[in-house]
Amino acid sequence: MAEFCKQCVEDVLGLPGDKNDFVDIQTEETTKAGLFSVVICEGCGFIQVDHTGRCVSTDCLRNHNKGPEETAPVLEPA
């Protein structure tokens, strides 16, 4: 079964993000302590998520936590 983080549920599936597969995978207290759960998201790959299921990884495949200036450029074929 495919599992998706909060952002991928919204972006890929077009559903409310609070219905993601990783919500409550840990407690709010662990998130506040800077601890995150390592999961595999079908859209992001290997990532870390907080207690809401939100991807907090800076190197996910969908660039959820990078600004446009940090996103790798798309190379056009020659």
* CB-CB neighbours of 54 under 10 Å: 20
pTM of the predicted model as reported, rounded to 2 decimal places: 0.78
Tell me phi and psi for residue 17, to 5 degrees: -65, -25
Three-state SS string over 31-59 comes to HHCCCCEEEEECCCEEEEECCCCCECCCC
Token digits of residue 21: 């597969």
CB 70 within 8 A of CB 56: no
Evaluate if residue 76 carries a pLDDT over 70. Answer: no
| pLDDT, tens only, 18-74 | 889 999 999 999 999 999 999 999 999 999 999 999 999 989 999 888 765 554 445
> Where does residue 66 rank: exposed (0-12), middle (13-18), buried (19+ CB within 10 A)?
middle
